[in-house]
Amino acid sequence: MDSDVQTPKLIRVVGAAIVRDGTVLCGQRGHGKSLAGYWEFPGGKIEAGETPRQALQREIEEELLCEVNVDSPVCTSRYTYDFGMVELTTFLCHLVSGEPTLTEHEQIAWVEPSQMPTLNWAPVDHEAVERISHMVLHIRKKSVSRTILQMI
């Protein structure tokens, strides 16, 4: 038995696929960060005592200076990087207040779901990108905008 083999550190994170007018907010990681230049869904680590939804609301307030309603989960994916195993749960989200503001990303862009696969995504995001890219996102106006998802 090889005692030198170690289980990679598990890093639990959440990502927000923020939907507006049929597009999804995507962020490009800034220079000097791990995975710099890759695209991702804004979000971050789940802190001790937080639920994934609480972590995502906190991260979006800190990272984009806006508030979101965390809606349904898209998927949970794992990918092993040289620094550990990342477990990402991606949620569909909707803006409640404010406008996303650059604080940590190199750039952000509102992208049509079908065009999302053309970006250079971080490996752990690939499953969520694939799923969302096949969704048609409709906006229904009521007292609050809601997203209706239909699989193509």
User: Which CATH number do you get for residue 32?
Assistant: 3.90.79.10
Rounded to whole angstroms, the Cα distance separating 39 from 82 reads: 18
DSSP state of 144: S
Q: Is residue 32 part of a domain?
A: yes
Beta-strand pair 43-45/135-140: unpaired
How many distinct structural domains can be found in the chain? 1
Contact 124, 77 (CB under 8 A): yes
β-bridge partners, 77? 88
Contact 24, 93 (CB under 8 A): no
Q: Is residue 5 part of a domain?
A: no
Give the mean pLDDT of 67-77.
97
- Band (33; pLDDT cuts 50, 70, 90): confident
**Model confidence over 91-123: pLDDT tens digits?**
999 999 999 999 989 999 999 999 999 999 999
Q: Kindly state the tokens that stand for 23.
A: 């597009």
Amino acid in the structure at residue 71: D
pTM (two decimals): 0.85
Element (H, E) at 60: helix 52-64
Q: Kindly state the tokens that stand for 145.
A: 């905008």
Q: Is residue 121 part of a domain?
A: yes
- Band (135; pLDDT cuts 50, 70, 90): confident
Q: Is residue 29 part of a domain?
A: yes
Beta-strand pair 146-151/84-97: unpaired
- Helix, strand, coil % in the chain, rounded to nearest 5: 20, 45, 35
Q: Is residue 42 part of a domain?
A: yes
Q: Is residue 1 part of a domain?
A: no
Q: Which domain holds residue 63?
A: 10-151
Q: Is residue 111 part of a domain?
A: yes
Q: Is residue 116 part of a domain?
A: yes
CA 74 vs CA 80, 91, 112, 132, 134: distances in Å: 20, 5, 16, 8, 12
